[in-house]
Structure 1
Amino acid sequence: MHISKLTLVNFRNFRNATLIFKKGINTIIGENGSGKSNLFRAIRLLLDENMVRAAFRLAEEDFNRGIGSWKGHWIIISLEFEDISHDESIQALFLHGTSVIGAAPVGKATYNLIFRPKKDIRQKLSKLKVGDKPALAEIFDKLTISDYETIFTGRSTCDFSDLKTYASIVGDFDNVIFPKETEFPQIGSKTPIYLSLTKEVCFTYIQALRDVVSEFHNNRTNPLFNLLKSKSGDINPAALAPIVKMVGDLNTSIEQLDDVKLIRGDIHKTIKETAGETYSPATLSIRSNLPSEAEELFQSLRLFVGESHDSYEGGINELSLGGANLIYLTLKILEFKYQKEKRVLANFLVVEEPEAHIHTHIQKTLFDRMQYSETQVIYSTHSTHISEVSAVESVNIIGRDGTFCEVYQPSNGLTPAEIGSVQRYLDAIRSNLLFARSVILIEGDAEEILVPILVKKVFGISLDELGISLINIRSTGFQNVALLFHDDRIKKRCAIVTDLDAAFLNVAAEVGDTAARTSYKEKCAASQKAGAERKVILDKFATGNKWLGTYYAAHTFEVDFIECGNSAIMAKLVDEVYKDGATIATAKAEISSGNKALYGKRVLTMATQEGKGWFAIKIGAHVDWKTKIPKYLINAIVLTHYQFSREVLANIIRYRAGLHSMEPAPPADIALLLSYVDEFVLGKIELTDIRKHYLAILPGDIFNDFLAVWQ
């Protein structure tokens, strides 16, 4: 048996989200604050018997803020199970309340937690006239969280994530349309308390490792103590009897020490001298309190570990963070194994960010080994070393959108061949493709090296700060990766950036062409033809997909870099590439000529001679805030990131204005521009206004190209 689906409605970060799970190992990816911990809490509320009953009583803060007022709304957490065993005892459990109606034998089942207004409130809502907002407001004014109830149901037949279904059961708050009924068979029948699923499954939750030492000091959370405690019931009492006797004899021996008896007598005497006979205690003893019960003895045990080979063993507090976390993980997994032996219905291991402080090689090994028979593993991670070797079909990605989060399945709707292509790419390249807020796909070393440098130097902000991942797909093929970004899969923006390889000279044969020139023209013509064909294919591929954009360098990055106004930088590199004086002079003249046929051929020759990657590193050493960025790259950055906050735009303007102000002859009205920026941040003026002021005060600045994208 395994969890096949988790549906969350109005629970914390999740307004309406569905996660799909497979047998075996499942991966959950999401940035900080996206709701991974809340998601695990939802699962635990239904399956973890260690959750106290008070946790089922939800609060106002558990409602998603995106719905506005929580009053009247329901929180729904629904688990769907598949591949349920045909064993008679297991079937009996689900037939009593959690199976899908009509299933015989049960192969699929649901188990739901529903937090809703109590029946008297639902009755009041059902009697409202359509559109009677004053009456609705009157009910809600008196409504408190104590008017809510928590129920567990099974045998549900509805899709809780469907908005129309939700409105038909809970109500249409905007139009004040509420169902006349107060009970709905489609949400399932209430599950009897004595049939709690938590007592039938093996469920272990390993929380994110933030303070391992404190976990070991707390008997409730100490994994070593829990292991020993779970085994204490299996120990033969006869085996413990000699130990208990030895502890008792040791206690007596300590109490009979002369110094102990002397101090006891002195204490008793001093109390009588101080308080008198009447108010003094009748008896007083000093006793050794070494534990003699098995559980108490186990509480006194501590784990000592040696990380090096010098035979020294230290306590958990002496270990490195990674070492302590690895020990904690190991003990929790062993705890799961012990529990697994006692439960037969299903086994679930839920792990939150197992990679904390652990070496990358251990992370990957941990993932490879975290596979247990008849066990479903669900874990969240920030590690590319773990996530990128996960099966893409078993990945859920959480994306933030304002006050709520969405969940994406990157393999949804793909063919097996397409999934295979994506999987092979992810297996080979440890990229942060699945973690990004937005993605720019490139296929060249030059762009991979230089785009981050250009953005940081020119705009004073990094791609990481913008949440943009620059992914070099190399020879994988754009479509094989870009197909992930789609309404059916990952709803994040993706830019495809590539070269058109348009020829920068007349490729037609001319009288007098040498064999070498003819060959060069044919090569340029072939590249130009391939670039044009590639554009047709990619434009067609991206058409109708709002998450994809295509952006093209007219020629290649190096040529377009000069064309947009960076010939001076390239001229500086000539001395680093060539040693011969005559060649240096010729190359500098060609780079600075303004003739594309000359500087285009020269810069590509230089790049080929040095190697494109190394040549890009050399260019990067000369990039500064005055460097021009080709417009196709600016468009890709702006339209991929899509929403720049006022603060981000303001920081870029302040950065560039500050650099302009340090020039020998700074532009006039820099202070005025900064005052406009302050008004923009406060919302007193809009983007169109700041764009107009920036253009007027700094007319030749490259940031005008950036701002112009929004026109």
Structure 2
Amino acid sequence: MYLSRLYIENYRSIQKTDLKFERGKNVIVGRNNSGKSNILKAIDLVLGEYSPTYSKSDNISENDFYGQLNKPIFIWCEIQRENNNGVLESINYTEVLKSTFFRMYHDKEQSDQLRVKITDFAKGEKLALFKFTTEAGQAEIDGGGYFKKWIGGKTYCKGWGFEQEFVDKENFALAFLAYKTKEDVLKKELVFLYRENRNSDWIIGFNCNLRNCIIQSAIIPAFRDPKDQLRISSYSWFGKLLKAYVKTDSVELNAAFDSVKDASDGLFRQLKDKISEKEIEIAFPNTSISFQFNPNSKQDIHKSTLIYVNDGFDSELKDKGAGIQSAVTISLYDFYVRNIVHTGSSLLAVEEPELYLHPHGRRVISNRLSRFVDGGKNQVILTTHTSEFLSNIYESQNIICVQKINTSTTAKNIYFNTPKRKQILIKKQNAELFFADSVILTEGADKYFIEEAARCFARSNKFLTEDYEIVSISEDWINDFNISIINCGGKHELWKYAEILNELEIKFITTADFDFLRDGLNEYFTNLKFEKKHSDKLNKLKSKINSKSKYKSIEQIEGEDLIKEVSDFLIECRDQNLFIFTGELENFYIIKPTYDKEGGVIETLGKLIEEQRPISDYVDLSEYYSLFFNFLSLTQNLKEFVEAEPAKMVAYAQTEKQL
């Protein structure tokens, strides 16, 4: 089983989102405060160890509603059962054999069962799911309007158990609703549904006791505490793990209990005698008090279990660092699902597993999660800000990019399940594009010049608001505006990154050297499905340029008319978010380095650090400045920055004198 779909409406920062999850690893990425945690909280609310409808569970408050309280919170978790060549994944009903649920029919012959067709969760469809959970709905059932069929382990189920009911069912779902009544009371409802396959309508099962039989889950939040994640109770996975290994009829255990009781009676005899004197009267009349080191009931001995870890110093797990706590929790849950629960598959959701870990520790945890996935048998859903959990090229990963637009969280799926896509993940530092508001793509080492040029750009440029106020931006505006500059590793790699950014709807501009016209631009146009007119114009232009010339700059082109035509084409490319320089790196050096390509870039950066001079002394930055103006106009990052002042940017100028 695995969580295949999560639909959320009106919950926390999420107005509405519809996510697809895959078996194996699902990685949720996005900048801080974008709403990643709220996705995991929604999963925990419905599939976690606590029941969302449990009356004593304080898991929903007025602050959890997005917008107005008159719109209910709705969460739909759809679970897919594995089907291997017609053989459905087995379900272990051991824990619920004595429980029951019912499904309803329209007639006494039970031939017309009550089903609901869920398509796009229109308002009427959502509320129809919960019709019979209300008092009015129960009255309608009891009034004879519908007929029940009981299913489960009780005698009145007439031999029709869970196995017979679910033998051919492939899809399960849990639907959660929270709303405020007219009496200002917060109500919570949970409904269990199932169906034969994706083409069938849903059957309402009502009772949700089967949740842990359908899918076993563990949710580990960002602020971890072993006493919460490793709760010892009759329903928690850790409590079940311990209970499976504590044999209360053990001769050794009973002997140990007797020895500890005798020892404690001796140690505390004087204290017991003192407090039992009449003048103290610590208890009610005719009662006595004693002291023991262990629970009196052998049935509960597992509840006193403590975990100790020896990493050179032997102490309780709760006193160890977050990294060790995470590793132990994940490994124990892995052991539990492999050896105790015996379900077909399980879900592990972890929020920011990288917290408090150095890079090597992050990779250890990433490998533990991959081991838990077990080749796709189990499912992991995690949120992260680091590349260690994104850059595993040996796994097919479903990456979910989360953004906050205005005040609402949006999320999009993107898959890395082909060799070409996985190549992008090899460069771990480039994973930051998933967290960016906008991106500048580069062929290679010019990334470092662009970063330095951006500082000079901020120092030498001012901007004019509609109120004719002159404003400036900080030298660190690239980070202020959440911009990533990505080294794609060659001109033939640019389109792959651009394709991903298009899918994620992240604004970007692609930069390339002049020879991109000759080699690479046609491929870029084709793979990104540009209109044919762009390729036609490029090919016509190339045919006019001497094909034998390995032109690397616009200066090598002969004829003023042709130069004008090429220049006009470069301007048109900029309108398509494609900034092609009029030359290569070496064409812009003021002080030429000893080495070519990346070696020259590193040499130049070393000199400006050593000599304490700006990069503008070594490189002509005029085209870089044109790139920044083009980029800022495209992304409106500057507009957003100036509006925050508050003001509204209406014009750019390269010098204060021009203003």
Task: Give the structure-1-normalised TM-score.
Answer: 0.62
1:454 positional shift = 3.4
> Does the 8 Å CA contact 2:362/2:388 hold for their aligned counterparts?
yes
The offset of 1:204, in angstroms, is 2.6
Q: Deviations over 1:555-604 (max 9, x none)?
A: 234544x6xxxx5xx4xxxxxxxxxxxxxxxxxxxxxxxxxxxxxxxx37
The answer to whether 1:611 aligns with 2:610 is no
The Cα of 1:29 is off from its aligned counterpart by 1.6
Deviation readout 1:84-114 (Å, 9 max, x if unpaired): 5647979999996999879998564251425
Distance in 2 separating the partners of 1:301 and 1:110: 35
More strand by share: 2
2:481 equivalent in structure 1: 466
Q: Write the distance in 2 (CA, Å) between the matches of 1:289 and 1:340.
A: 31
Matched, 1:331 2:327: no
Shift of 1:551: 1.4
2:636 matched to which residue of 1?
642
C-alpha contact 1:325 1:358 (8 A) present in aligned 2: no
AA at the equivalent of 2:33: G
- 1:280-429 paired onto structure 2 within 5 Å: 287-294=291-298, 297-308=301-312, 312-316=313-317, 319-341=320-342, 343-344=343-344, 346-364=345-363, 365-372=367-374, 374-389=377-392, 391=395, 394-411=398-415, 419-429=418-428
TM-score normalised per structure 2? 0.66
Contact 1:25 1:377 in 2 (8 A): yes
Are the aligned partners of 1:74 and 1:116 in contact in 2 as well (CA < 8 Å)?
yes
Aligned counterpart, 1:587? none
CA change 1:352–1:444 in 2 (3 A) is: same
Matched residue type, 1:410: I
1:442, 1:496 within 8 Å by CA — same for their partners in 2? yes
Do the aligned residues in 2 keep the contact of 1:99 with 1:154 (CA within 8 Å)?
no
Q: 2:277 maps to which residue?
A: 268
Contact 1:493 1:641 in 2 (8 A): yes
Hey, what's the Cα distance between the residues in 2 that align with 1:236 and 1:485? 62
CA contact 1:442–1:498 (8 Å) conserved in 2: yes
Map of 1:452 onto structure 2: 451
C-alpha distance 456-211 of structure 1, shift in aligned 2 (>3 A): farther
**d(CA) in 2 for partners of 1:6 and 1:556?**
48
Structure 1 position 640, deviation (Å)? 5.6
**2:63 corresponds to:** 61
Deviation at 1:13, TM superposition (A): 2.4
Classify the secondary structure of the residue corresponding to 1:113.
Answer: strand
Distance 2:402 2:484 in 1: 16
Q: What is the match of residue 512 of structure 2?
A: 498
RMSD between superposed Cα atoms in Å: 5.0
The one of 260, 279, 282 equivalent to 1:247 is: 260
Cα distance per residue 1:202-259 (max 9 Å; x no partner): 4232313434466589767999973664325655454532222222222222234xx5
Question: Please, which of 194, 200, 206 is the counterpart of residue 192 of structure 1?
Answer: 206
SS of the aligned residue for 1:632 comes to: helix
Q: Relative to 1, partners in 2 of residues 1:605 and 1:247: Cα closer, same or farther, differing over 3 Å? A: closer
> Mind listing any 5+ residue stretches in structure 2 that lack a counterpart?
105-113, 119-164, 459-473, 518-546, 558-562
Note if contact 2:231-2:238 (Cα within 8 Å) is conserved in structure 1. Answer: no
Structure 1's unaligned 5+ residue stretches are 119-141, 160-184, 504-520, 571-602, 650-679, 705-711
Shift in CA distance, 212/242, structure 1 to aligned 2, threshold 3 Å: same
Q: Counterpart of 2:18? A: 18
Amino acid at match of 2:613: H
Question: C-alpha offsets along residues 103-152 of structure 1, whole Å, 9 cap, x if unaligned?
Answer: 9985642514252779xxxxxxxxxxxxxxxxxxxxxxx94653866352
Higher relative contact order (CA 8 A, sep 6+): 2
Query: What amino acid does structure 1 have at the position aligned with 2:625?
Result: K
Q: Percent identity?
A: 16
Deviations 1:407-451 (A, max 9, x none): 112249xxx8xx431212213444223232222111121x32232
Which deviates more, 109-118 or 396-405? Answer: 109-118
Going from structure 1 to structure 2, the CA distance change for 1:609 and 1:78 (only over 3 Å counts) comes to: closer
**Secondary structure class of the residue paired with 1:433:** helix
- Paired with 1:324 and 1:502, the residues of 2 have a C-alpha distance of 51
Counterpart in the other structure of 2:613: 622
TM superposition shift of 1:370: 2.9
In the TM superposition, what whole-angstrom CA distance separates every residue of 1:646-684 from its partner, at most 9, and x where no partner exists? 6x44xxxxxxxxxxxxxxxxxxxxxxxxxxxxxx7564x
Matched ranges for 1:34-45 at <5 A: 34-45=34-45
Residues 576-595 of structure 1 correspond to what in structure 2 (within 5 A)? none
Deviations, residues 254-289 of structure 1 (Å, cap 9, x unaligned): 234xx547xx448837649xx9xxx99777656345
Task: Flag the 1:89–1:502 CA change in 2: closer, same or farther, 3 A.
Answer: closer
The answer (yes or no) to whether the contact 1:449–1:617 under 8 Å persists in 2 is no
> In structure 1, what residue type is equivalent to 2:291?
R
Go from structure 1 to structure 2 and tell me whether the alpha carbon gap of 1:421 and 1:540 turns closer, same or farther (over 3 Å shift).
farther
Render the CA deviation track for 1:606-650: whole Å, top value 9, x for unaligned. 65696333324434652289996623331354146433466x44x
Helix, strand or coil at the partner of 1:434:
helix
Which is higher, the Rg of structure 1 or of structure 2? 1
Cα distance in 1 for partners of 2:7, 2:435 equals 22
- The answer on whether the counterparts of 1:209 and 1:325 sit within 8 Å (CA) in structure 2 is no
Question: Cα offset for 1:21?
Answer: 1.8
The one of 169, 172, 193 equivalent to 1:154 is: 193
Closer, same or farther: CA 387–228 of 1 in aligned 2, 3 Å: same
Flag the 1:407–1:388 CA change in 2: closer, same or farther, 3 A: same
Q: 1:268 is matched by which residue type in structure 2?
A: E
Q: Write out per-residue CA displacement over residues 518-555 of structure 1, whole angstroms, 9 at most, x where no aligned residue.
A: xxx98763665999999999999998xxxx72112222
Distance 1:226 1:618, change over 3 A: farther
C-alpha distance 190-407 of structure 1, shift in aligned 2 (>3 A):
same
- Secondary structure of the 1:477 match is helix
Aligned length: 530
SS at match of 2:349: strand
- The separation in 2 between residues aligned to 1:477 and 1:247, in whole angstroms, is 70
Alignment partners' CA distance in 2, 1:286 and 1:63? 50
As a proportion of its length, which structure holds more helix? 1
- 1:344-386 deviation digits (Å, cap 9, x = unpaired): 5x42222222222234234333344232363222222222011
